[in-house]
Amino acid sequence: MSAAATALAPPARPGPRRGARSVLPGFNLTLGYTLLYLSLVVLIPLSALVFKTLSLSWPEFWAAVSSPRVLASYRLTFGASFLAALVNVVTGLLVAWVLVRYEFPGKKIADALVDLPFALPTAVAGIALTAILAGNGWIGQFLEPHGIQIAFQPAGVVVALIFIGLPFVVRTVQPVLEDTEKELEEAAACLGANRWQTFWRVIFPAIAPALLTGFAMAFARAVGEYGSVIFIAGNMPMVSEITPLIIIGKLEQYDYAGATAVASVMLLISFVLLLVINGLQTWQRRRMGGV
Amino acid sequence: MSTTGIPKRVSTTEAPWIRWLLTALALGFMALFLVLPLAAVFVEALRSGWGTYLAALREPDALAAIRLTLLTAAVAVPLNLVFGVAAAWCIAKFEFRGKSFLTTLIDLPFSVSPVVAGLIYVLVFGAQGWLGPWLAEHDIKIVFAVPGIVLATVFVTFPFIARELIPLMQAQGSDEEQAAQVLGASGWQTFWHVTLPNIKWGLIYGVILCNARAMGEFGAVSVVSGHIRGQTNTLPLHVEILYNEYQGQAAFAVASLLALLAIATLVIKTAVQWRHEREMRAAAELPPERPAAADSKVFQPQSGVDTTSTAINKRAFS
C-alpha cells in the first residue's frame, strides 16, 4: 500500500516530445517481460480467486460472507482499523511536525526509527506488543490493577494497528510540510493572525490532502493486517477475531468455498481503497502543483 | 503575541514551551510505540541468559528456518529486482497507452491482504486448485512446500523495487541515455554505464526494503506453508510455533534475529539516504559546464532533488 513515493513525487519531467520517436532500445523486451511477469505472479493467481468466487452459487456465497461470526469480524476489522488510522493521523501529524520544524538532539535517529514498523516483521511486532501489554508486562502491570486490559481484547487489535500504520501519515505529511512556504506564514502573522490561526487557516489546508492520503493508506494496510494482530487479539469468535483470521480458519477446515467468498469481499474492499487512494494522490498532486 | 523585540521569530514558530511540549509528546509517543517493543524483544530473549538464548538459535529446527528464510529471500529478491528494472525502464523511458493503468496494477500486491495473497496460490496450486490434479499426477508439490513459500513471498514483495525505480527514472528523464545512443553505445552499454550509476541508490534502497519484507513476511507464507517443522517453516513461522507452545524465551530469541534484521535494514537505508542526498547536493552545486549532466540534475532542481529524496526518503514499505 505504499504508493507514497508516487504520491509525493512532483510531476515527472515531460516525457519524450510528441512526434520525436524515442531512440532508446528495449521497449518491446522490457514491456513484454513486465506484462508476462505481472500476469504470472499477480494477475493469473488473482483471477483464480475471482473465478472461484463466480463458481459459487449466490446463496452459498451470501451464507459465507454474512454469517454472524463473519459480520462480527468485519465490525472489528473495520472499526479497529478506522480508530487506529484516526490515532495515526493525530500522532503522525505531531511526529512529522516535530521532525520538520524543530531541532533536537537525536533527530536523525528519531527520523530513521519512524520506519521501524515497515522493517520489523509483523509477527515480531505482535509478540513484542503482547509481551508489553499482557497482565504481567511492562505496561500491562500498571494497567491491570485499574481494571484496564488491552492484550487479548479488541483494544489490543487497535494498539497493534496503530503500530503498523504509524509511518504512513508521517511519511506522507513530512515532505508536504517541508515544502510549505514560510512566506505565507509570515504574511499571516503580519496580518495579525496568531500562531494557532496561522496553523489552522494556512498550514492545515495545505497538508490536509496528505493527511487524508496517509489516513487512507494506514486504514487500507490495517484492514488486511494479520501477523501483528493475531498474537495480541486473543482471537475469540464474535469478540476479537479479525476477518483475515476467519479466512485462515475456513482454510484449515478445508472450506475453500467459504474462504474464497470472504477473501473476495476483502479483495473488493482493497480495490475500492486503492482507487480512493489513487484519487486522493491525484488531488494532492494537483493541489501541490497549483499553489 | 508581542510584536516588539523579535517579531520575525514569533511569526513563524511557536513559543518555546509549546515547542518543548510538542517535541516531548512526539518523542514520548515514539518511545512508547517503537522503542519499547523493540527493547522488549531483546529483554525477553535474554531473560534466562545467553546460554539458553544461543541454545534456542542452535536448535536444528531454528537452523532449518534460518536456511529456508535465506533461500526464500535469495530467490524472491533477484526475481523482483529484474522485474523492477524492466518495468521502470519501459514505464519511465517510453510513452504508451495504458501506462498509468499498468503502474496501478504493479501496486496491486500492496493493497491485497497477505492472507488473501496466500489463498490465491492455494487456489491455483492446491489439491483442489486449477493445477492441483496435474501437479499431483506429476508428483510436484508447490503449496505446503518450499516453492509455494517462495511464490507467496514473490507476490508480497512484488512492487518494492519497481515502485522505487519508476519515479526516480521518470525524474531523471532519458537525455543521458539518448546521448549515449547517439554516441554509438549499445543498449546494454547504455544501461550499464549510464542508467545504472544514476539509479544505484534507489536500487539499493529498493533491494533493502524488498529483502526485509521477504524475510519477515508472515501472513501470506503462513497460508501456503503447511507448518512442517524443519521443512516449511520460515523464521517468522518458527517464532509463531514456539510462541504458541509457550516457549516464550526461545520465540523471542528467534524473533531477536528478525529484529536485528530490521535494525540493520533501517541503518543501511538511512546511510543510503544520506549518501544520496549528499550526492544530489554535490550535483546541484556543479558549475553548468557539462550540459547533459547538469540538465538532468539542475534543470529542475526542485523536481530532481525532491523526487529522489521523496522516493528515497518517505518511502513506505507497507
pLDDT at B145 over 80: yes
Predicted local confidence at residue B298, as pLDDT: 38
Predicted local confidence at residue A32, as pLDDT: 93
Return the exposure string of A184-215: e unless at least 16 CB atoms fall within 10 Å of the residue's CB, then b. ebeebbeeebebeebbeebbeebbebbbbbbb
Residues of A in contact with B30 (CB under 8 A): 95, 110, 113-114
Least confident of A132-141, B112-121, B280-289: B280-289
Stretch 27-66 of chain B: residues touching chain A, C-beta under 8 Å: 27, 29-30, 32-38, 40-41, 44
Residues of A in contact with B34 (CB under 8 A): 113-114, 116-117, 163, 166
Look-up of cell digits 520575525: B8
Backbone angles phi, psi at B300, to 5 degrees: -120, 75
Q: Is B93 on the interface with A (CB under 8 A)?
A: yes
Predicted local confidence at residue A16, as pLDDT: 46
CB atoms within 10 A of CB B265: 23
Q: Share the mean pLDDT of chain B.
A: 84
Q: Is B189 on the interface with A (CB under 8 A)?
A: no
Predicted local confidence at residue B4, as pLDDT: 46
Predicted local confidence at residue B288, as pLDDT: 60
DSSP A25-70: --HHHHHHHHHHHHIIIIIHHHHHHHHHHHTS-HHHHHHHHSSHHH
Best of B90, B155, B163, B254 to substitute, by most chain A Cβ atoms within 10 angstroms, is: B90
Least Cα separation, residue A89 to chain B (angstroms): 13
ipTM of the complex, rounded to two decimals: 0.85
Say yes or no for a CB contact (<8 Å) between B128 and A226.
no
Say yes or no for a CB contact (<8 Å) between A131 and B107.
no
pLDDT, one tens digit per residue, over B170-199 is 888 888 888 888 888 888 888 999 899 989
Ordered per-residue pLDDT tens for chain A, 291 residues = 343 444 444 444 444 444 345 678 888 899 999 999 999 999 999 999 999 999 989 998 998 899 999 999 999 999 999 999 999 999 999 999 999 989 899 899 999 999 999 999 999 999 999 999 988 888 888 888 888 888 888 889 999 999 999 999 999 999 888 888 778 888 888 888 888 888 888 888 888 888 998 999 999 999 999 999 999 988 888 888 999 999 999 988 888 899 999 999 999 998 898 888 888 888 877 876 654
pLDDT, one tens digit per residue, over B207-237 is 999 999 999 999 999 999 877 777 889 999 9
Residues of B in contact with A137 (CB under 8 A): 40
Say yes or no for a CB contact (<8 Å) between B223 and A251.
yes
Best of A31, A44, A120 to substitute, by most chain B Cβ atoms within 10 angstroms, is: A120
Instruction: Cell numbers for B264, please give them.
Output: 540493520
Say yes or no for a CB contact (<8 Å) between A26 and B151.
no
Which H/E stretch holds residue A53? helix A44-54
Give me the percent of chain B exceeding a pLDDT of 90.
48
Smallest Cβ–Cβ distance between B22 and the set A24, A98, A186 belongs to: A98
Is the Cβ–Cβ distance between B111 and A271 less than 8 Å?
yes
Say yes or no for a CB contact (<8 Å) between A98 and B23.
yes
Least confident of A108-117, B132-141, B169-178, B287-296: B287-296
Smallest Cβ–Cβ distance between A104 and the set B23, B163, B171 belongs to: B23
Going by pLDDT thresholds of 50, 70 and 90, the confidence category of residue B128 is: confident
**Mean predicted confidence (pLDDT) in B228-249:** 89
Predicted local confidence at residue A22, as pLDDT: 66
Predicted local confidence at residue B289, as pLDDT: 54
Instruction: Provide Rg for chain A, Cα atoms.
Output: 23
Smallest Cβ–Cβ distance between B26 and the set A94, A162, A174 belongs to: A94
- Closest to A206 in 3D by CA, of A144, A277, A288, A276: A288
Give me the percent of chain B exceeding a pLDDT of 70.
86
Q: Write down how long chain A is.
A: 291
Say yes or no for a CB contact (<8 Å) between A31 and B94.
yes
pLDDT at B303 over 80: no
First and final CA of chain A: distance in angstroms?
Answer: 27
∠ Cα A177 B280 A287 (to 5°) = 30
Smallest Cβ–Cβ distance between B90 and the set A30, A114, A182 belongs to: A30
Least Cα separation, residue A219 to chain B (angstroms): 11
Q: Is B102 on the interface with A (CB under 8 A)?
A: yes
pLDDT at B72 over 90: yes
